[in-house]
Amino acid sequence: MKLVLIVFLCGRLALAAQAPQAAVRIGAPNAGARSGPARDAVGAAVLGFLPGPGPLELSAILGVFGAARLGDPVVAPKTAMRLYVATGQQFALVEQNSDAPLSVWDLAADSALTTIAGALPHPDLVAFSPRGDSAALYTRESGQIQVIGGMPNRPEVHKTLPSLSPAAAGMIAVSDDANVVVLRDSTTGDVLISNDGKSWQPFYGAYSPSAWTFIPKTHDLIVADKQENAIFLIEQAGSNHARIVLAENSLPDQISVTRNGQTLVALDSKRGTLWTIDLKKRIASGATAAANLHSLSILRGGNTFLASSQDTNITLLRVSEGGLVQMSVLPMAGGR
């Protein structure tokens, strides 16, 4: 997916903040609290969240692009062991201690956790769909994959797929409607697809993905292929449609699509290069220097991204119509 990108909070991520510190605290879940967008004491909107430095810490990014600032760490639920922040950062999946169920935590409101009945409580891998409407959960020991749909308001187990051999799934992508799942078998390198909820089938065509994502609200899959050094669009994943070449001589390791599905953002972290592709016109933009960046997380606006950095900075990227990329980089506030 934007692979989508899973933000798996398992330690300090070298990300940085914009502008001065501002206090915002979205408290532990409270069933009686009112819902609504998260805001600080002076009403600043929340662009998204910065993970770390601790495994259960999130700091709100406040304000607007070009005039954002970092808030205080948000208080995670007391029972949380791990947080998986969804695409678009509207909510997170909460893995809880002991046998407590996997739950949804609404990051836009101070509300109670919403449990997902029957969901795998301790997944090893979580892959969100491009808009965060669905997610695939995978446990290595059993090889089981569950697909959760209806998020964030009505989460439920949409289907449980046939088990794979232990530790088989290395990469997973899922469509927004939770109906199509693709995975790369880490042991064989094969790409498999399930679009009937009952079986796994070989994916039509030979691919060696370095990154992939569905286009929001479609079954169209974008694959960055490391063998052919190209980016392909496969319309109606699993069909025998001829693949469409979106870019050649390119090997991104991170790709994401804006929420409206119009622009692909691709990052080659090894070469320090970022570029965009207009998915309507199928035209790639010129490369933009992106030294030290190594991941992309789409924020709440749908066209703004948080790019983690290998130094003490964070970068906010905004993609406008036509694929123009604006960057805003500032040192980490408070020495984080």
- Count how many domains the chain has: 1
Residues 6+ apart with CB under 8 A from 146: 119, 120, 136, 137, 157, 159, 160, 161
Residue 236 pairs in a beta bridge with none
Mean pLDDT in the chain?
83
* Residue 236, in any domain of the structure: yes
Distances 129 to 14, 63, 126, 135, 151 between C-alpha atoms, Å: 25, 26, 10, 6, 10
pLDDT in tens, 57-102: 888 898 889 888 888 788 899 999 999 999 999 999 999 988 899 9
Residue 300 lies in a domain: yes
CATH number of the domain encompassing residue 40: 2.130.10.10
The answer to whether residue 103 sits within a structural domain is yes
Exposed/middle/buried for residue 286 (C-beta within 10 Å: 0-12, 13-18, 19+): exposed
Comparing C-alpha atoms, which of 289, 229, 287, 296 is closest to residue 257? 296
> What average pLDDT does the segment 127-146 reach?
95
Residue 335 has pLDDT above 50, yes or no: no
Handedness of CA 237, 240, 241, 246 (dihedral sign): positive
Q: What is the pLDDT of residue 33?
A: 36
Question: At residue 1, does pLDDT exceed 80?
Answer: no
pTM for the structure as a whole: 0.84
216 alpha-carbon distance from chain centroid: 12
161: its two tokens: 């797929």
Q: Is residue 264 part of a domain?
A: yes
Structural domain includes residue 2 = no
Cα separation, 40 vs 53, whole angstroms: 21
Give the full edge-to-edge strand order of the sheet including 144-149: 125-128, 135-139, 144-149, 156-161
- For CA atoms 107, 112, 117, 123, give the dihedral sign: positive
Which residue segment(s) compose the domain that 166 sits in? 7-335
**Most confident option among 15-24, 167-176, 211-220, 319-328:** 211-220
> Is residue 45 in a domain?
yes
Q: What are phi and psi of 45, to 5 degrees?
A: -70, 155
CA distance 160 to 115: 17
Q: Are the C-beta atoms of residues 308 and 293 closer than 8 Å to each other?
A: yes
Does 212 reside within a domain? yes
Do the domain assignments include residue 1?
Answer: no
